[in-house]
Amino acid sequence: MKIIKRAERVEAVEYSLYFESIEFRGGGFSFPCSKDGVVGELAPAGQANYEMCLKDNGKTYENMGVESNSWSYMEPAEGRCDCGSTVVLSHDETECSKCKRLYNIFGQELRRLSPEEEAYERANDYAYSSEELY
Ligand SMILES: [Zn+2]
């Protein structure tokens, strides 16, 4: 297998404009927006709430400004199988959907177990998960 795309960490961020209830601090409304606080198109109920917050700003709800929420995640590597198919290496024992070759998360081809080895593995898995060992 040839790795055609390396695994990479992806950083993501979302912004929301937050209006906090003056009477019930900690509660309120937030609306998805741009980094600069520009709220885009909302569903009708969301739009009605947004307009209410703008109208009531400082009375019932207070505009607390833009809040950001960021996170990151791993985008899995992709490899070109010997058969020409692209395989997303998201977990160990990933099977090529076309030729059924098995690969680990690094793109190394794995040998398939014989039926006897499969049975042995299953018995071992059972033994290790069983409380009889403890
Ligand atoms: Zn393949």
Ligand 1 center–CA 106 separation, angstroms: 15
103 and 55 housed in the same domain: no
What's the pLDDT score for residue 130?
64
Report if residue 25 sits inside a domain.
yes
Q: Which residue range forms the structural domain that includes residue 17?
A: 10-73
Report if residue 116 sits inside a domain.
yes
Q: 132: burial class by Cβ within 10 Å (0-12, 13-18, 19+)?
A: exposed
What's the pLDDT score for residue 125?
81
31 and 68 housed in the same domain: yes
14 and 25 housed in the same domain: yes
Ligand 1 center–CA 97 separation, angstroms: 7
Report if residue 15 sits inside a domain.
yes
Ligand 1 center–CA 124 separation, angstroms: 30
**Which DSSP symbol is given to 114?**
P
Ligand 1 center–CA 102 separation, angstroms: 8
Beta bridge partners of 67: 16
61 and 41 housed in the same domain: yes
| Domains: count for the chain | 2
Ligand 1 center–CA 4 separation, angstroms: 14
50 and 100 housed in the same domain: no
pTM: 0.57
* Contact (CB, 8 A) for 97 and 85: yes
15 and 66 housed in the same domain: yes
Amino acid of residue 115: P
Please state, as a whole number, how many other Cβ atoms lie within 10 Å of the Cβ of residue 93: 10
How far apart are alpha carbons 1 and 102 in whole angstroms?
11
Report if residue 16 sits inside a domain.
yes
Ligand 1 center–CA 101 separation, angstroms: 6
Both tokens assigned to 99: 């030729």
Report if residue 19 sits inside a domain.
yes
Ligand 1 center–CA 79 separation, angstroms: 10
83 and 28 housed in the same domain: no
Ligand 1 center–CA 80 separation, angstroms: 8
35 and 59 housed in the same domain: yes
Report if residue 80 sits inside a domain.
yes
Q: Which residues of the chain have pLDDT under 50?
A: none
Report if residue 2 sits inside a domain.
no
